[in-house]
Chains A and B, each alone.
Chain A
Amino acid sequence: DTEVTQTPKHLVMGMTNKKSLKCEQHMGHRAMYWYKQKAKKPPELMFVYSYEKLSINESVPSRFSPECPNSSLLNLHLHALQPEDSALYLCASSQDPGVRSNEQFFGPGTRLTVL
């Protein structure tokens, strides 16, 4: 299994809703990532988990809450989002957090719309 899966593919939510994005990989990778991508822009790193511990938080607002329950699973909990948070949310994983040559494998993304 050489893929990263993300659910749901599309999500529409109101500003008062609570929802979660899910990401899963079964490649034995020990680093997992959340990126946010606005239309026609490059992805922007949000969080990095290394060996199930949060290692990087790129000053993301607290309405985004990541969780890594185990080495295969990564969640992003959403609460009280704003319309400007509408974007494509990409999950990625890489084999060894400390090795520069390891490419990141990306999932297909979740397209989030906040009304």
Chain B
Amino acid sequence: AQKITQTQPGMFVQEKEAVTLDCTYDTSDPSYGLFWYKQPSSGEMIFLIYQGSYDQQNATEGRYSLNFQKARKSANLVISASQLGDSAMYFCAMREISTGGGNKLTFGTGTQLKVEL
């Protein structure tokens, strides 16, 4: 069974600073996908970044980058130049393809990020 672990329930960062949100995972599937989602207080889940297990380079999307260390089974999210609007819950998730079709997302417990002035 797949497992995603986020060990930081809450994080604080000063505006314009960089912050790293931790995510470790466990799976026996050699082919897997890792995602990060942001969930503001309004509730909507916003896709941020994706890393495939066979991708040679770490994924980047604007101010978001993923520090993927396959041997350590970690996929940490780095947010550069934090903004007040980055304050939200952040979820790491792993996807497996079901034999019946469709993808199953398993989420970590999330990290609540607060950006301060």
Contacts and interface: CB of A to CB of B under 8 A. Distances in A.
A113 interface: no
Interface in A19-68: 31, 33, 40-43, 45, 48-51, 53, 55-56
B47 A105 contact: yes
Contact of B97 (A43, A90, A100, A106): A100
Interface residues of A, number: 31
A100 B32 contact: yes
Given A88-B43, A107-B44, A102 B103 contact: yes
Contacts, number: 80
Contacts of B103: 31, 48, 94, 97, 100, 102, 104
A106 B107 CA distance: 14
Interface of B: 31-33, 35, 37, 42-47, 50, 52, 91, 95, 97-98, 100-105, 107-110
Interface of A: 31, 33, 40-43, 45, 48-51, 53, 55-56, 88, 90, 92, 94, 97-98, 100-109, 111
29 contacts: A33-B102, A40-B110, A42-B108, A42-B110, A43-B105, A45-B104, A48-B101, A50-B102, A51-B101, A56-B98, A56-B102, A56-B104, A92-B45, A94-B103, A97-B97, A97-B101, A100-B97, A100-B103, A101-B33, A101-B50, A101-B52, A102-B103, A103-B35, A104-B45, A104-B47, A105-B47, A106-B37, A106-B44, A108-B42
